[in-house]
Amino acid sequence: MPDAVNLKQKLTLFSEHWSPKIVSAYNGNDVMVVKFQGAFPWHKHESTDDFFLVIEGHIRLETEQGNVELGPGELYVVPRGVLHRPVAEQEAQVLLIEPKGEPNSGDPATAATKVWI
């Protein structure tokens, strides 16, 4: 029987910010954990929505349509094509779901390399 994925344990395995780590996959999507601190560059995803679920801490999703504040247990999906950036005044731990190979910055040239942990 396969083991369940323990998100808290996975988050102890790294310290860098803005570097998504793949912890699972389903239906062509990567399920990732990431640590946010500071502001990520403004960007958009032309062909997919962008899923954010806060595990610990607080983030602000700044979008061209207005800002969304998220705390632990809250999620928001940024619709495809909407300019946005996540901001965390203090470190936050977040679960992301994106189609496999989707660059986190919306641009392969500036995207973080995603690795399995």
Query: Looking at the domain assignment, is residue 67 inside a domain?
Result: yes
Within a domain: 1: no
Is residue 8 scored above 80 in pLDDT? yes
Judged against a pLDDT cut of 90, whether residue 2 lies above it is answered with: no
Span 17-61, pLDDT tens digits: 999 999 999 999 999 999 999 999 999 999 999 999 999 999 999
Question: Parallel, antiparallel, or unpaired: how do β-strands 115-116 and 21-26 relate?
Answer: parallel
Residue 41 is encoded by which pair of tokens? 């560059």
Residue range of the domain that includes 107: 7-116
pTM (two decimals)? 0.94
Domains held by the chain: number: 1
Q: Is residue 38 part of a domain?
A: yes
Residue 107 maps to which CATH number?
2.60.120.10
Judged against a pLDDT cut of 90, whether residue 113 lies above it is answered with: no
Q: HEC states along 90-117? A: EEEEEEEEEECCCCCCCCCCCCCCCEEC
Within a domain: 2:
no
pLDDT value of position 105? 83
